[in-house]
Amino acid sequence: MESDDAFPNAKHLFQQAFAAQDPAPLLLHVLKEHPTYPALRDLVFYYVEAVHNDPYCGQILASALARMIHSPDAPSFGQETFFELLSRELGGTHFKDLYDDDIAKDYGPKNTYLLDSLLSGFSLKYKLTASPEMYGSIEDGLKAPRGSKESEVLVVGTCMQLLLHGFGLTTDLAGAYKWQPGKVAEKLKAHKAAETVKDLHAIEVLEVHNLFYLKEMALI
pLDDT of residue 62: 98
The residues near 148 (Cβ < 8 Å, ≥ 6 apart) are: none
Q: How many CB atoms lie within 10 A of CB 97?
A: 11
pLDDT of residue 217: 87
pLDDT of residue 189: 94
pTM of the model: 0.92
Residue 82 burial (C-beta neighbours within 10 Å; 0-12, 13-18, 19+): buried
- What are the φ and ψ backbone dihedral angles of 113, each rounded to 5 degrees? -70, -40
pLDDT of residue 19: 97
**Per-residue pLDDT tens for 5-52?**
899 999 999 999 999 999 999 999 999 999 999 999 999 999 999 999
For residues 131 and 88, what is the distance between their CA atoms, to the nearest angstrom?
9
pLDDT in tens, the chain (220 residues): 445 789 999 999 999 999 999 999 999 999 999 999 999 999 999 999 999 999 999 999 999 999 999 999 999 888 899 999 999 999 999 998 776 677 877 777 788 899 999 999 999 999 999 999 999 999 999 999 987 788 999 999 999 999 999 999 999 999 999 999 999 999 999 999 999 998 888 899 999 999 999 998 877 6
pLDDT of residue 98: 73
What is the full DSSP assignment across the chain? -----SSTTHHHHHHHHHTSSSHHHHHHHHHHHS-SHHHHHHHHHHHHHHHHH-GGGHHHHHHHHHHHHT-TTPPPBTTB-HHHHHHHHHHTTTTSS--HHHHHSPSSTT-HHHHHHHHHHHHHHTTS---HHHHHHHHHHHHPPTTSHHHHHHHHHHHHHHHHHTTGGGSGGGGGG---HHHHHHHHHHHHHTT----TTGGGGGGHHHHHHHHHTT--
